[in-house]
Amino acid sequence: MNSVKWIMLNLHFWSVMLDWGITFFTKPFVLFPAMGGVALGVLSDLGVGTGEQIYLVVTLFCIVCAAIVSIFENRYYLSFGQNSCWRHYRIPCMLFNYFLAFLIFLPAYLNAPDQATGLQKLHDNLPELPERIRRMPIYVIAIDFSLVVGPVVLMGVLIIAEALAFVVLIFLGASKALRERTVSINCVIIQKKFLRALYIQILMILLNMGVPLCYLGVAVPLHYYNQAANNIIFIIYSLHGVSSTIVMIWLHKPYRAVIQNFFRRSHARRLSNVGTDHRKSMFEGKTATNMPSTVNIRIQYNVNILNVVV
């Protein structure tokens, strides 16, 4: 687990940044199939342009994809690739993925159309657009949807191909190691358990990302406009942070153990405070009960003295 924790932290960090980027900093109100929309997040209040916000979100998405590949590469390298020629190429290849993530959407960002022309084209393509939406500060990133969809699809295909390649290499390496008995069966079993958990975790990320992308792949070519569906796909994606966190705690024992210990300590501390309060209340009750009897004894003693004097 120690060998992969920093790579997993890298993935979770960029996933959190992407979640915050969409749900808090930008809050995109998109108008698919048109390549335009409105940014309703904090960055708009701070004066950041909508084009820059679109570039930020798409770049973060591509970085998350590169981080996913890094996990599979890390598993392959530590298990079977340290003595292979891959050790010479791994760092340049992984850096290329992150470098590509920053560059792949740059042409679309730099070639954004004149907004007057872009808005006119958007209104022509979406005549059913409600008047209240037409009055919003809509930004058009591209007139030709291929400038936007193309880079995202290209990055997705590249990442899927690389991830599948490492999965196949891990499987072949494990089979060869068992056949040549260079590793124990227990080691292979532990490796398979970790990879199975990793597959499920990555699958959850791909589902949260894949549903919006699949809708985009259908709505844009067919020129289908449904604002409710546009909003729903971003709601689905916004659940990515919650779902991936729950799956991570459920699948990986070290994370699960930390959470369980945290709740156990909190519960024990709560019980300790309750016990202390209970003992304190009992002590105060006994003190309050004993005080009247002492007063009564003193009163009776004083009365007896008076009677004797009289």
Residue 45 falls inside a structural domain? yes
Q: Are residues 83 and 175 in the same domain?
A: yes
Both 87 and 180 in one domain: the answer is yes
Q: Are residues 74 and 184 in the same domain?
A: yes
Q: Does a structural domain hold residue 256?
A: no
Whether 231 and 86 map to the same domain: the answer is yes
Regarding whether 275 and 220 lie in a shared domain, the answer is: no
pLDDT of amino acid 280: 58
| 196 plus 247 within the same structural domain | yes
Residues 271, 159 share a domain = no
Q: Which of 228, 251, 274 is the last residue of a domain?
A: 251
Per-residue pLDDT of the chain (310 residues; tens, 9 = 90+): 566 778 888 988 998 898 899 989 999 999 999 999 999 999 999 999 999 999 999 999 999 989 989 988 998 898 888 888 998 999 999 999 999 999 999 999 999 999 999 999 999 999 989 999 999 999 999 998 888 888 888 888 898 899 889 988 988 887 887 777 777 777 777 777 777 777 787 788 778 878 888 888 888 888 899 999 999 998 888 787 778 778 878 877 777 888 888 888 876 777 666 556 555 565 555 554 555 444 443 434 343 433 333 3
Residues 182 and 116 in one domain: yes
Are 174 and 299 members of one domain?
Answer: no
Q: Is residue 213 assigned to a domain?
A: yes
Evaluate whether residue 61 is within a structural domain: yes
Is residue 281 domain-shared with residue 209, that is, in the same domain?
Answer: no
Query: Do 217 and 148 form a contact (C-beta atoms < 8 A)?
Result: no
Give the CA distances from residue 163 to residues 94, 166, 274, in Å, rounded to whole numbers and listed in that order.
12, 5, 52
Last residue of one domain, picked from the residues 251, 281, 299 = 251
Q: Are residues 194 and 116 in the same domain?
A: yes
Q: Is residue 141 part of a domain?
A: yes
CATH number at residue 181: 1.20.1070
Specify if 35 maps to a domain: yes
Q: Is the dihedral of CA 250, 255, 256, 259 positive or negative?
A: negative
What is the number of structural domains in the chain? 2
Give the pLDDT of residue 21: 92
Q: What confidence score (pLDDT) does residue 245 get?
A: 78
**Does 243 fall in a domain?**
yes
Q: Are both 42 and 164 inside the same structural domain?
A: yes
Q: Which domain holds residue 182?
A: 5-251
Does 30 fall in a domain?
Answer: yes
